[in-house]
Every structure is written in structure tokens, then in C-alpha cells.
Amino acid sequence: MDANTKLCQGKDIFERMNYLYQASYLMALKNRVAASYYGNVMVGCAKKSVLRIESDIKRTICKCCQSPLIPGETARVRLVSKPVKGIKWTCLTCLSIKRYPTKKGYKLWTEQPNSVVQIFNYTSKSVDDKSVTETQKRNLDKRNSVNIEKN
């Protein structure tokens, strides 16, 4: 409506994914089917509109069944040393395993400083009534910057 909203490409879809992510976490302990379904819709949205999810967020949902991974509740987290030192996440819904290395100095490309070319600031002037949305918003900005850099 105002000039700010037009600039941010895919803002409505980011907002939708943000909502689905929060809804998924809200339903995680009450109904795992619903949580998985919302996660699935969220990933589907990202795929359809070719928007990338930030890797920190991507790691908190199961790659396989898209249900949110909460340590001790829906996921088993163990430190492993055998193939390479790392963290092993086991989803308790579908029993799939993800391993993340914990090597010293290992950084994802998006965490490296030279991956960011330009940072857009889309923070709205209106005050959000929830702190959750605030933090998510920041994540969106981060996602966006990464996204634009890759193109």
C-alpha cells in the first residue's frame, strides 16, 4: 500500500511462511500431524515462490517430515564423534537422522561476512505487539539479504 511494501519482494509470502512456522511450533506438542502439515505447507510455499529459508530456521524443522524439532520432545539430540565430530538430530516422528559437523572454524556460507552484499531494512514503523514477530522479522531481513546476494 505504501512505498515500503512494494519494495520488499515476496513480503506477503515471507509473512505467510513466518506465520506457518510459528503455528507449527504452537501445535508441536498438541498435535504432531497438524504441526507436520503446517511445516510441509511452509516448505511448499518456499519452493513454489523460490524464496530461501534461512539455514538456522531450516535446521529446526525435520528435513524429512517437516515437523518442528524440539530437543527432548520431538527430537533426540546427541553428540557424536565417530565419522566426524558433530551433533546428531533424530526426529522422533519419522526417525530420520541429520548430522551437523562441529569442526572448529567451520562456517556456513551465509554466516561468512563476505556473503552479504547489501542489507535492506524493511522494518515497519508500526510496533508489533508480540516479541516473537519482531525476531522473526529480523530473520526475514537476513533471509532476504542472502537471497538477493545469490541471484
Partner 1 sequence: MAQTSQSICSILPKSITKQINTCENSEQYITNFLQNALPPTDTSSIANELRKSLILGKHKSKWNKKKQCKGKLLTNRKRMQLGLRKISCQVNDMKYKDLLPLNQLWLNYMQQVLGPKFLDNIPKDPTDPNWENVNQQLIKADFHGAEISIVGAKCPSLIGLSGIVVQDTKNIFRICGKDNIIRTIPKDVVIMNMHLKNIKLEFFGKDLSIKPTERTIKKFKCGRIYEL
Q: Give yes or no for residue 65 binding Zn ion (CB under 5 A).
A: yes
Distance of alpha carbon 123 from alpha carbon 142, whole angstroms: 12
Which does residue 15 touch among Zn ion, partner 1, none (CB within 5 to 8 A, set by kind)? partner 1
Judged by CB, which is closer to partner 1: 43, or 116?
Answer: 43
**Which of 95/108 has CB closer to partner 1?**
95
CB of 80 to partner 1, least distance (A): 15
In the three-class reduction of DSSP (H, G, I as helix; E, B as strand; rest coil), residue 45 is classed as: helix
* Distance of alpha carbon 143 from the chain centroid: 9
User: Which regions of 6-150 does DSSP assign to beta strands (E)?
Assistant: 75-80, 86-91, 97-101
Specify the residue, 26 or 64, whose C-beta has the smaller distance to Zn ion. Answer: 64
Contact 69, 89 (CB under 8 A): yes
96: amino acid identity, one letter: S
List Cβ neighbours of 117 (8 Å cut-off, separation of 6 or more). Answer: 145, 148, 149
Any idea how long the chain is? 151
Closest distance between Zn ion and the C-beta of residue 149, in Å? Answer: 30
Q: Does 88 contact partner 1 by CB under 8 A?
A: no
Among the listed ranges 13-21, 94-102, 112-120, 126-134, the one in contact with Zn ion (CB under 5 A) is: 94-102
d(CA 142, CA 5): 17
Which residue in the set 59, 63, 76, 142 belongs to the binding site for partner 1 (CB under 8 A)?
Answer: 63
By the criterion CB under 8 A, which residues form the site for partner 1?
A: 1, 5, 12-13, 15-16, 18-20, 22-23, 26-27, 30-34, 36-38, 40-41, 43-45, 47-49, 63-65, 67, 93-98, 126, 128-130, 133
